[in-house]
Structure 1
């Protein structure tokens, strides 16, 4: 699981959200003098190619170099390590866990903590030569404590009664005013070919798998064309044309979907119990898993929140439904392993759900030796979970 998903998950756990960018991050990190020759370039003054060019070396990391992101990330973390004694652990943890290259996403429990954290982060970043800017938050009080020059352009000229704008957090649409994650669909004109279809499907950015059931159907159309050995730019059969046109016609409906950014409702008090429920399934089309958080506060109020989903197409080589359900269970275990590291909430109970009695038989069988395909996957499931955590759910009650 890539770190982008991890940052977004950590961004969704508390009520007050913060987002900021490091201005020209790569240019703030110097290159060792002995390595400057690796960034040597020629320069023709005035663009006149008839004269002898001048030779220069970059003294800072540049945009486009493969090494720049890792070097800048190291410098960022080193800033936190070198100044660890001057700041609280929460500030240092934010630098280590809540930055994705130059973008910081963080959520905290209260406005007071957000105000202090924003101030401390700016002070810490300055010590490393970094400038945090383009701040945005779902709290107006927090925004009012940040200098106008450091706020995002969309919130600089807002009046007290104005609605907070929509923003993008690592490519995901964030309705700041309502504090919800939304989707903005822009259907570009592409030729009705396998290449054109794949281009449109790939343009839907969904790292948390919020709309995986929708995108899976389009990917299945692309896979169907591959099975029929249709070339990238060849005319596609009428059946796939009709399926694609129906999918495209329904695609704008995604803009009506909105998901709460914060797992905890605003009216919730201190949490008493946190449960993670992971569902998995498989079919002839594909397989996958999704995870939900079930929160209970000290007043016994209950809230369920979708956390993450992951779907995959079934292999082109036909396989049995029980094996696909087994693959879905492996995806569920991988989601759980990732969530165990990324969620800051302490999970009291984890339950895995499946509607396959055959899969439960696989998992509960510790004596029989299985064939390689099944055995390898059962082994991973046993390493990640225990059989007591797996339960049966009727197909009619399982999330689709």
Structure 2
């Protein structure tokens, strides 16, 4: 940013309020500046109100994490201060002004932010689009590296994998060079094979956090131990015990149960069922929740520390698999439905493995429907999840199996004639 000269104050179009957020568990930037571009001006509009947010051009988080589980060797990194690496147009910078002074005795000064700024509706798109352009620039000469740059990032987080140390090391170096040329330096490197990052300066390596006897790093909010090559569940210490809670507070705590791959769905769906019961009772956001629901939530919270003892293999599908089967299981109850997908593989040495790939669950619709229909939407959920999984994982000779214990649902699916009920017919 730069100071705005007094005679240029009339060019300022908008002042962004800013404050700080302290994040003690961050290994790089513990204090961050937060800009509030949603703050209304005197005419009732904010900068975000008049700004187009742009489309989503990167892969979804679920897709990236699932792909991360399909390689023998993997490496992670992130772009150092990604947003400030990208300049904005001179005319647009006048919408990005702040006021500041080092102490109360000084006169207030105006500053103009010249780069993409956190807190604006378009910031994520602008930074991702600039990164995407790097891939476009090198697509003709290095199509493989261009694909990595355009498909292996989630905002500023890089997650890439390969079948061999030599191949992944070569890709890592090439991607690092091309990104550095265009102002996107990579740092916080980590890998399940130390030889892939042995030439990286120590200050650019990701610092591990020790949880009990395990060393982990956080990548896209998921706890990964590179040494053990496993995923773990991180307990949120902000979830403190309370004797009373409001609906707003309970919703906030439930949403902290972060589980993008669905590995903890049996626990999380229980919390969502409690939240749905509050909606059914038509409580306001700041009303206290009933004692029986509070008791159930307290009992559930007591089980959460046990989740920290669980781990899941990061590599769910070996690259040398000669046989791969995907098994999708669906089920439903009165209060919820869901499903899980497992990968069964046999590698070239004859080793067999069975791993949970992903899962998904949903609370039952508020409008009551019959149990067979609930079983049916559970089966439909698994079919959709399986379709997505097959599109993500590397090409194999895959055999797909679907499992459902509802004879009614199986009869609906296998019937040669269209069902008379529109609800069933559409979902078949």
Q: TM-score w.r.t. structure 2 length?
A: 0.78
Deviations 1:90-129 (A, max 9, x none): 3222212110000001122222223222211111101221
Unaligned runs of 5+ in 1: 156-162, 379-400
Query: Which residue number in structure 1 is paired with residue 124 of structure 2?
Result: 69
The 5 A counterparts of 1:181-192 are 181-187=231-237, 188-189=239-240, 190=242, 191-192=244-245
- 1:277/1:52 CA distance change after superposition, 3 Å: closer
Q: Tell me the CA shift for residue 243 of structure 1.
A: 2.2
Deviations 1:306-346 (A, max 9, x none): 11100000012211111111111221122122212221242
Q: Distance in 2 between matches of 1:216 and 1:253?
A: 17
Query: Which residue number in structure 1 is paired with residue 82 of structure 2?
Result: 25
- 1:248/1:117 CA distance change after superposition, 3 Å: same
Among residues 182, 199, 202, which one is paired with 1:145 in the alignment? 199
Query: Which residue number in structure 2 is paired with residue 258 of structure 1?
Result: 311
The 5 A counterparts of 1:1-400 are 3-37=60-94, 39-41=95-97, 43=99, 54=110, 57-87=112-142, 89-154=143-208, 165-187=215-237, 188-189=239-240, 190=242, 191-264=244-317, 270-378=320-428
Matched length: 365
- 1:126/1:241 CA distance change after superposition, 3 Å: closer
| Structure 2 contact 59–151 (Cα < 8 Å) conserved | no
- 1:348/1:44 CA distance change after superposition, 3 Å: closer
Q: Distance in 1 between matches of 2:380 and 2:84?
A: 42
Q: Distance in 2 between matches of 1:236 and 1:69?
A: 37
Q: Provide the secondary structure at the position in 2 that maps to 1:306.
A: strand
113-122 vs 284-293, which moves further: 113-122
129-138 vs 336-345, which moves further: 336-345
Q: Provide the secondary structure at the position in 2 that maps to 1:165.
A: strand
Q: Tell me the CA shift for residue 183 of structure 1.
A: 0.8
Q: Distance in 1 between matches of 2:126 and 2:158?
A: 17
| Structure 1 contact 10–98 (Cα < 8 Å) conserved | no
Q: Tell me the CA shift for residue 205 of structure 1.
A: 0.6
- 1:48/1:134 CA distance change after superposition, 3 Å: same
| Structure 2 contact 317–343 (Cα < 8 Å) conserved | no
Query: Which residue number in structure 1 is paired with residue 8 of structure 2?
Result: none
185-194 vs 165-174, which moves further: 185-194
Q: Provide the secondary structure at the position in 1 that maps to 2:308.
A: helix
Q: Distance in 2 between matches of 1:238 and 1:47?
A: 49
- 1:150/1:373 CA distance change after superposition, 3 Å: same
| Structure 1 contact 288–332 (Cα < 8 Å) conserved | yes
Query: Which residue number in structure 1 is paired with residue 36 of structure 2?
Result: none
| Structure 1 contact 115–145 (Cα < 8 Å) conserved | no
Q: Distance in 2 between matches of 1:198 and 1:229?
A: 14
Q: Provide the secondary structure at the position in 1 that maps to 2:250.
A: helix
| Structure 2 contact 80–185 (Cα < 8 Å) conserved | yes
Q: Provide the secondary structure at the position in 1 that maps to 2:358.
A: strand
Q: Tell me the CA shift for residue 299 of structure 1.
A: 3.5
CA RMSD of the aligned region, Å? 2.6
Q: Distance in 2 between matches of 1:370 and 1:34?
A: 61
- 1:124/1:237 CA distance change after superposition, 3 Å: same
Q: Distance in 1 between matches of 2:338 and 2:397?
A: 22
More helix by share: 1
